Amino acid sequence: MELNVVTLNCWGLPFGISKHKGERMQHIAKELATGAYDVVSLQEIWVLKDYELIKSTVKNVLPYSFYFRMGLQNGGLCMFSKWPIVDTFYHLYSLNGYAHQVFMGDWYTGKMVALCKIDVEGMAVNVYNTHAHALYVPSNIPEKDDFLTHRLTQLYELSEFVRLTSGGSDLVLVMGDFNSEPFSLATKLALSNAGLLDSWETRGNKEYTDGMTIERLDNILAKGQTHCYMNTNDGERIDYNFYQSYGPYTARCLKTTLTMRKIPGSDLSYSDHEGVLSTIRVTRLKDSQGQGDEKSNEDDDGSPHQQLPELLKEAISVLSKNIEKVKSDQMWSRLKALFCFFLLLLSVSLGDVSPVLAFIWTCGLTLITAFYFCFGFIVEECEKKTVTGIMESMKVRLSAVEKRIRVNGK
């Protein structure tokens, strides 16, 4: 059996933020209705009406769908399938930006990993869809990435969610906008910990080399955005189709290509991202029990997950340094709150000089004091404890992996 699976970040922000959204959503729906796709994972479908438009348009070829409505903007994730969706679940990421960074907006959008269990003619397929925290600098300069820790913890949580919910499945598909490049620690850890294969790296059509999905200068919608790579047309690869098979099944990626690029007869692109289309061939092994050829996340088959101990150690080191940074930031936030509070007391004496000036002074300093107080005593405290908890979870996972290596010799 061959499955054509596609992922696309649709850039569907409302209020005119995303250019040509209405027109593009109609064309996205029209393209998905061609019948060329079997399983579809979409991100940034922020508006329910856009989902309903696509759903009504593709109902004859993709009759099964689910929209995950979480966060202020519904999470933006939805899936469509040729086969019945028999179960759904999701996990909201523990860290996802900050509320005061309104123009970035990640905190408000309910970033998550979503799961749809699909019955593909008796084969149990787990399809995961995700959209990680936005990438504002290239992955190769992590020291300038203020949200490296958030993205790292998100993709670790993704890998744990996949690993712990994929039991009993015959095929796993993990699709979406990871906002991390292939060589980044976050992406490598996600692949390794969940024991997944990258459809781009394992594709049969190696002659096809155009795989960059974002920040492309040939994408008209990306030209008005801030580019990480201003002097190249290559862009970044941050959208993926990962996969793995289990039990009596084996999966192989026949080909992976970019899709849904420019709208036919127009210079307008479907989105500021390129779609990623993979053809996965799934074969049932002759041995129905799958004893001889069964695949496992723990097999010594040369897959990236063999690097897991070192990747976990590196991730633990990154999180440990971040905890120290958060502690330092927390101390300064508290000191700033205390300093602003003392300045606020001066407004009492200013009242005798100018009531208007005293009012402005009091209101401004009250807001600033409240901000630093909340950040120092609530926000950063929550982040510190969350990162610490995830780091401790990584240590448990590392201990278990190292023990398996000692016992099994691999």
- Burial class of 401 by CB neighbour count within 10 A (0 to 12, 13 to 18, 19+): middle
Pairing of strands 77-81, 39-43: antiparallel
% of the chain exceeding 70 in pLDDT = 88
For the chain, domain boundaries: 2-297, 312-408
Count of H-run helices and E-run strands, the chain: 7, 12
For 198-245, the DSSP string reads: ETTTT-S-TT------BS-TT-TTTTTSPPS-TT-S--B--EEEEEEE
Distance, CA of 226 to CA of 137 (rounded, Å): 10
Checking if the pLDDT of 296 tops 80, the result is no
pLDDT band at 102 (very low <50, low <70, confident <90, very high): low
Task: Please give the model's pTM, rounded to 2 decimal places.
Answer: 0.89
Read off the DSSP letter of residue 247.
T
Say if residues 130 and 150 touch (Cβ distance below 8 Å): no
Provide the mean pLDDT of the chain: 88
Write the pLDDT tens digit of every residue in 335-356. Answer: 988 988 888 777 666 556 667 7
Pairing of strands 2-9, 39-43: parallel
Distance, CA of 392 to CA of 380 (rounded, Å): 18
For 288-337, the DSSP string reads: TT-TTT---TT--SS-GGGGHHHHHHHHHHHHHHHHHHHHHHHHHHHHHH
CATH T-level assignment (fold) for domain 2-297: Deoxyribonuclease I; Chain A (3.60.10)
List beta partners, residue 97: none
Write the pLDDT tens digit of every residue in 232-241. Answer: 557 889 999 9
Question: Interior CA angle at 241 toward 142 and 129, to 5°?
Answer: 85
The closest alpha carbon to 376, from 326, 338, 334, belongs to: 334
Distance, CA of 32 to CA of 30 (rounded, Å): 6
Say if residues 214 and 238 touch (Cβ distance below 8 Å): yes
Distance, CA of 283 to CA of 83 (rounded, Å): 18
List beta partners, residue 262: 269
Read off the DSSP letter of residue 108.
G
Write the pLDDT tens digit of every residue in 108-157. Answer: 787 999 999 999 999 999 999 999 998 887 766 777 788 899 999 999 99
What is the reported pLDDT for 405? 84
Say if residues 87 and 107 touch (Cβ distance below 8 Å): no
Largest CA distance in the chain: 91
Contacts of 385 (CB under 8 A, 6+ apart): none
